[in-house]
Structure formats: structure tokens, C-alpha cells
Amino acid sequence: MNQPDEPAMKDAHPSTPWWRRLWEPCDIGSVVFFRIAFAGVMLWHVGLFLSRDWVTFYFTDSPHHLSYFGFEWVRPMSGERMQQVFYLMGLAAIGVGLGWFYRLSAIVLFVTYTYTFLAEAGLFQNHYYMMSLLAFLLILIPAHRSFSVDATVVPERASQFIPNWCRWVLMFMVALPYVYGGIAKLNGDWLQAMPVGFWISYKSDLPVIGPYLTQRWMAWALSYAGLIFDLSIVPLLLWKKTRWFAYIAATLFHLMNAMLFDIDVFPWMMILLTTIYFSADWPRKLLRRPLPATDSVPTAATTLGQRAVLGVVALFVVCQLVFPLRHWVYPGDPSWTEEGHQFAWRMMLRNKNVFIRFYATDVAKGETGEIPVDRMLNALQLRELVVSPDQIVATARLFAEMARQAGIEQVEIRAVVLVSLNGRKPQLMIDPELDLLTVDRTWGHQPWIVPLTEPLRAEPWDVPTDQWPAELGIELPEVTVTN
């Protein structure tokens, strides 16, 4: 991956085994820029949550929270403690950016950020997941050897060089959403310009381009442009002759995404972090600050501790290569079942319109009431709940616990869930007669999810959701008690 003009490659023999090249030194400049840019993005993230009072709204004031399977034990703190977690995260981001108490700052940044990420599954975004992974990697990478407070205070630990693997693993991490995002787009819906047509039509009020966003040809053009971009951008970035063209294309792509979609820091983060594909010494060349004549390229000697760190990184890489592919072992379309959808870089692949009603039945009295779910969860939680059978099951347990606290000893929770995927005719996702308390959350396949049978339509289904049950002949449960 390194270019011939980089220090790490000047003395490298073409036949050098790749595993030895992992330890060959390269200029630290691009990794230092990556460290500072990522810390700035994290600080921006903290600022958004604090300035817009999202910490209070999503964590403190919200009485209920969605959880990830296996991490149900991670819960938000009460009162002002969540605010303090974000302040601590911000201080840690400053520490990483300045290279001040770097290792401690990187650990604190990873722990605080990942804690907030896991504490509310309703906030899931692929780039939030990516930020957690990058924060973890920076713990292992000695990105503070140069242009840092630590390097100034302890000059004997300073260096203008860093092992190749540090830069390469960051390149790998930046490549993941591009490559896996492209692979995920190789499905029937995307190849028929769905759901891009939905997403862009919501921005029809934009000046100049707005009227074009409602036209079908624009959906086709953007669908295939996005597919080609995701599949080709990493190879183009790796090849020196096309790198500048690829970076400009990536910048324009992310600027367009920032204009069309509400994905906060992600476009700007990718514009900054994709610079890791340029030569390792590009910041030095840009600033016209060549290495001091006294600096020499160090040897590639390694210690047992360094090899242990690289072993952790290797395990990390293998997991990141394999885990996003797990949806292939599940039957059905993951955009419908959501099995294997999260943490797999499956971005912008589904538009789900949903009709959903929850019902609680007091078994002893034989009374049934509708659960006012829209008054119990906030908008982001509802958005995640209605598309995910797993979250529906998890939330049913929450409703059952609330019913028991209200004095109902034996309760059954059922749901009528009608879903229109990418403009299809709506169909049931769950058997309305199924007591959701009889099924468990699991990594395995959930056979109770009704398979997708409706084909993609030439014209999207356009009936208001409140009319779906009558239109489809679905009879809602009789409500015998009101809230």
C-alpha cells in the first residue's frame, strides 16, 4: 500500500514478506493528521449532543430505552451523570487530539463513547459504530509519537516514524463502509433503484436540484452511481495514478450525502479520514517541513509486547471481515427480517412504512387493551422499534413488566405489524396471534418472522397507513379496556 517515495519503502526489497513489511517504518505524518481529525470529529459529536440537549432528551428524560442483544445490561445513568459522561468524552477527545496523556485519553474516549453508543440502541447509525471501532484502534496505535504534548514532554519517546501496520489498519477501517456498502447494494431492490427514489424525494424542496429529485431517472442514476462508487473507490484510492481523482470524487459524494441525508458528522468524518490513503508523509510535504537531517529511518525490530498488540489487531481485522457477512447464513432478506443487518455496513438499503399496534391481554380477566407505545417511546426509538422484529420482542417484555407492576399477574403481549418494504404492498411481519412473550431474543434465526412474499412494485404502494388493515382485510383485536 505504501508508495515508493515513502521512507518505509526506500530500503524495502520487493521480495520482502508482507508480514515483515508490517513492521517496516513509515512517516507518521498521515497518522498524526488522522488522530487529530478523528479527535475533532468526536469533539464535534459531543458538542452536538450537549448543545442540542440530546443527552437529556435521549438518555435522561426518556423513561425507556432500547438495547442491543447481549448488551441489555448497559443502561443510561440517571440525572446529570450522562451529561458528565459526555463532558469526560469531550476532554478525552481533546487529550487524543493534543496527544496529551494519549493512552489514557484514548482509553477514556473509547469507553465513554462506546458506553453511550450501547446505552440506547434507538440511536444506531453505522458511522456511530465506526467511531467506536476507530476509538478502539487508536488505543493500540502510537499516534502520539509526533506533534503531541507527550512527545514534547518526553522527547526520548518521540519519533517521526511509525510501523506500517498502524497506517494500514486505519486504511482498512476506512475501506470497510465503502466495500461492504457496495457489496450490500448488489441486491434486487437497489438494482431497481429502490429505495433511493424514496430518500431523495424527501428533499424535493431543495433549490435548483429539488424538482429533479422526484423524477424516476434520477433515482436510477443515483442508485447505480452509488453502487459503482462504493465498489471502485478503494481500488482507485490505492492506485497512486488515480488517487487524487478518487479523493475528489469521494469528497463530492460525501458533500452530496450531507445535503440530501441527515447523517450529521459522517460525511465530514469520511472526507477527513480518507486522506489516510495519500502517501504517509503528505502532511510534511504540504507544510514543506522535511525530516531533519539527523533523523534516520529506524529498524523494524519488534518486542513481544508489540507482537501481542499486532495479534489483537489481526483478530480485530478478521472479526471485521467476517462479522458483516453473517446475514448470509440467515434465510430470507435481511432488509425484511433485520437479521444480520446491523453492524454490517448495510446502509440506505431499506425504506419501511409500518402500521403497528401493540395489545396487552389480562389473562385472568380476559380483557385486552391497546398499548399507547407512541407515548412511551421517543421518535428515534419508535423508528428503530417498528422496523426490527428483535426490538419488537424486546419491547414486549418491557410492556409485560409494566403490566405486572400495575398488578396484572398474567399478561400476554401481541402486535399487529404490517410493513411495506421499499414500496411493496404491505404484509404481516409477525403473526397477530403470537404471544411475543413466548419467544426470546437470539443471534439465531427467528422462525416466527413471517417471510417476505410481496414482490417489488413498478409503482410504490400509496395507501395511508391507517387504512392498511381494512385494505388488506386484517381484523384488529377487539379492545375491551381503554387506557
What are the tens digits of pLDDT across the range 188-203?
999 999 999 888 888 8
Phi, psi of 406, rounded to the nearest 5 degrees? -85, 0
Considering the domain boundaries, does residue 210 fall inside one? no
Considering the domain boundaries, does residue 123 fall inside one? yes
26 has which bridge partners?
162
Considering the domain boundaries, does residue 217 fall inside one? no
Considering the domain boundaries, does residue 100 fall inside one? yes
Considering the domain boundaries, does residue 87 fall inside one? yes
Does one domain contain both 429 and 370?
Answer: yes
How many residues in total does the chain contain? Answer: 483
Does one domain contain both 49 and 178?
Answer: yes
pLDDT in tens, 228-266: 999 999 999 999 999 999 999 999 999 998 888 878 899
Does one domain contain both 458 and 425?
Answer: yes
Nearest Cα neighbor of 228 from 185, 269, 290 is: 185
CA distance 398 to 396: 5
Does one domain contain both 323 and 355?
Answer: no
Residues contacting residue 425 through CB under 8 Å, at least 6 positions apart:
454, 457, 461
Does one domain contain both 268 and 362?
Answer: no
CA distance 3 to 197: 41
Considering the domain boundaries, does residue 241 fall inside one? no
Does one domain contain both 55 and 154?
Answer: yes
Domain boundary among 285, 311, 327: 327
Does one domain contain both 320 and 404?
Answer: no
Range of the domain at 129: 18-184+264-327
CA distance 71 to 207: 44
Decide if 227 contacts 182 (C-beta within 8 A).
yes
DSSP letters of 176-218? HHHHHHHHHT-SHHHHTTTTHHHHHHTTTTSTTTGGGGGSHHH
- pLDDT value of position 201: 84
CA distance 341 to 349: 10
Does one domain contain both 398 and 297?
Answer: no
The total of structural domains in the chain comes to 2
Residues contacting residue 395 through CB under 8 Å, at least 6 positions apart:
64, 66, 358, 373, 377, 385
- pLDDT value of position 301: 58
212-249 b/e with 16+ CB inside 10 Å = b? Answer: ebeeeebbeebbeebbebbbebbebbeeeeebeebbeb
Considering the domain boundaries, does residue 227 fall inside one? no
Does one domain contain both 319 and 365?
Answer: no
Residues contacting residue 482 through CB under 8 Å, at least 6 positions apart:
369
Does one domain contain both 286 and 372?
Answer: no
Does one domain contain both 311 and 379?
Answer: no
Phi, psi of 438, rounded to the nearest 5 degrees? -90, -5
Residue-level pLDDT, tens digit, the chain, 483 residues? 444 344 444 444 555 666 678 888 999 999 999 999 999 999 999 999 999 999 999 998 888 999 999 999 999 998 789 999 999 999 999 999 999 999 999 999 999 999 999 999 999 999 999 999 999 999 999 999 999 999 999 999 899 999 999 999 999 999 999 999 999 999 999 999 999 988 888 888 888 888 888 888 999 999 999 999 999 999 999 999 999 999 999 999 999 988 888 788 999 999 999 999 999 999 999 988 887 655 555 665 567 888 898 899 999 999 999 999 999 999 999 999 999 999 999 999 999 999 999 999 999 999 999 999 988 899 899 999 999 999 999 999 999 999 888 888 899 999 999 999 999 999 999 999 999 999 999 989 999 999 999 999 988 999 999 999 999 999 999 888 776
SS3 153: helix
Does one domain contain both 64 and 168?
Answer: yes
Decide if 279 contacts 6 (C-beta within 8 A).
yes
